[in-house]
Amino acid sequence: MLRQPAVAGHFYRGTAEGLKQQVEQFIIPTALKRKALGILSPHAGLMYSGSVAGALYSNVDLPDRIVLIGPNHTGLGAPVSVMTEGSWETPLGRVPIDAKLAGSLLSRSPHIHDDALAHLREHSLEVQLPFIQYFKKQFTIVPVQMLDTRYETCLALGQAVAGAIAESGEPVLIVASSDMSHYEQAAAAREKDFRAINHILNLDPEGLYSSIREYGITMCGYGPAVAMLAASKKLGAAKAELVKYANSGDVSGDYDQVVGYAGIMIS
């Protein structure tokens, strides 16, 4: 099936020319591209989180195959939903799903279900595509949405992703889509966010999960982040780097109620 864009003209500009120009505002042409196993990227409207996403994607040497893992905001579909065939469309064109890699992932855990419904109205993966499309003309994706974010589910998904990537024998980037703290004063949001960020930088999925619960950090994609970390570690990750941190107040001027954004590379 063809998955139509759900937030074109809302989270980002709705025409090809307008979207390309919008993405270009956030790209760093002089950035030195590096290979990565996984990244954490924000998913708000581009006017708010585009500077973080743009800096992040400017630094990543993107492979031809990408696994996208995002939180399920809509409540639709299975607890962990992978779309196994078809393509996704944005104003910049269509992106095919990697059916072989998706099938391998699906076969590796009973937690994962073949389900398109969860993806139809969800924005967290869609907003990653314009940045990837800006840099690459040809690539495939495996889209995964997480409604079930129990720790054992995150680990099971991470192990399944790592296994599918290892079996493929080809470079694959794992993208975890997440914003950080929601609607807190900027200083408080930063303090909480860096508790989470430091666990990611230490390649510590269990510590990240525990801190989210202990400190009430409203990081909407912590499940995808834990799964991405678990998979990256299984694939041999040795270090992590914070590329950029910002919040919505940097755009709106309102620092009393911000959403935080972090761009992180795992290699």
DSSP codes joined into one string, 177-208: E----EEE-HHHHHHHHHHHHHHHHTT-HHHH
User: What is the rounded CA–CA span in Å between residue 81 and residue 44?
Assistant: 21
- Would strands 113-114 and 93-96 be described as parallel, antiparallel, or unpaired? unpaired
Q: What is the mean pLDDT of residues 66-78?
A: 98
| Domain limits, the chain | 2-266
Per-residue model confidence (pLDDT) at position 255: 97
How many Å is the Cα radius of gyration of the chain? 17
Q: Are 164 and 180 in contact (CB under 8 A)?
A: no
Give this prediction's pTM: 0.98
Per-residue model confidence (pLDDT) at position 41: 99
DSSP label of 74: S
pLDDT in tens, 141-199: 999 999 999 999 999 999 999 999 999 999 999 999 999 999 999 999 999 999 999 99
- Amino acid identity of residue 21, one-letter, is Q
The hierarchical CATH code for the domain 2-266 is 3.40.830.10
User: What is the rounded CA–CA span in Å between residue 45 and residue 54?
Assistant: 12
- Would strands 65-71 and 240-247 be described as parallel, antiparallel, or unpaired? unpaired
User: What is the rounded CA–CA span in Å between residue 108 and residue 38?
Assistant: 20
The residues facing 67 across adjacent strands are 142, 174
Per-residue model confidence (pLDDT) at position 149: 97
Per-residue model confidence (pLDDT) at position 9: 97
H helical segments located in the chain? 16-24, 46-59, 99-106, 129-135, 151-168, 186-201, 205-215, 222-234, 249-252
Per-residue model confidence (pLDDT) at position 180: 98
Q: What is the mean pLDDT of residues 92-105?
A: 98
pLDDT in tens, 195-239: 999 999 999 999 999 999 999 999 999 999 999 999 999 999 999
- Amino acid identity of residue 135, one-letter, is F
Which residues fall within 8 angstroms of residue 247, CB to CB, at 6 or more apart?
180, 186, 189, 190, 255, 258, 259, 260, 261
pLDDT in tens, 131-142: 999 999 999 999
Token pair of 150 as six digits: 């129990």
User: What is the rounded CA–CA span in Å between residue 89 and residue 128?
Assistant: 12
Per-residue model confidence (pLDDT) at position 49: 98
Chain centre distance of CA 176: 3
Per-residue model confidence (pLDDT) at position 85: 97
pLDDT in tens, 240-260: 999 999 999 999 999 999 999
Per-residue model confidence (pLDDT) at position 244: 98
- Would strands 240-247 and 258-266 be described as parallel, antiparallel, or unpaired? antiparallel
